[in-house]
Amino acid sequence: PFNQSDGAVVIPGKPERALKHEFVCKKGGPPEYRYCQGEWVKSVVSCVIDDIPFSEGALRQVYRMQIVQKDGQRHDVVAKLSKDPNEERSTYYRDVQAQMCAREWAAEFNDQNVPKPIDFVPAYVFELVDRPGRPLIGVEEFVEGVFVKHNNNVGGIMTTGDAERA
């Protein structure tokens, strides 16, 4: 990697085109589903994905990725790619929709003057249109710092604090 003028690390490689799918929640409907309805909004972006994953979980490998703006500036995100080469494409959309729904629920929870507000990072589905088969990846905003996993997708709890597990 080399540095931009502002000192940020730049992932090497030629930017590639991607179709960004963003789930926009619509309020309404039965209370328990009020944030889970919405629509997918598409836009074309350029991105660069590192060749080597920097982390992994049970189901996905995680890569450093940058969205390249028209002016050349780069925005750090992470790309999550399934370890299963036969992963159904719909899984990426369901995961992102669930995360964006949870983000809306968290905002409503935080409106209750809670002592420790919670948030979910924005997430998207990217379709890598220049690659064979137009593969999908899950994309999330990059969060600086040490990542601590408090629970997993099947009910496992890794920490003891109540607020962290909420």
Convert the pLDDT of each residue in 77-97 to its tens digit: 999 999 998 999 999 999 999
Smallest CA-to-CA distance from 35 within 47, 23, 44 is with 23
Q: Where in 27-129 does DSSP place strands (E)? A: 37-49, 55-56, 60-68, 74-82, 123-127
What confidence tier does 58 reach under pLDDT thresholds 50, 70, 90?
confident
Rounded-to-10 torsion of CA 125, 131, 135, 141: -30
pTM of the model: 0.84
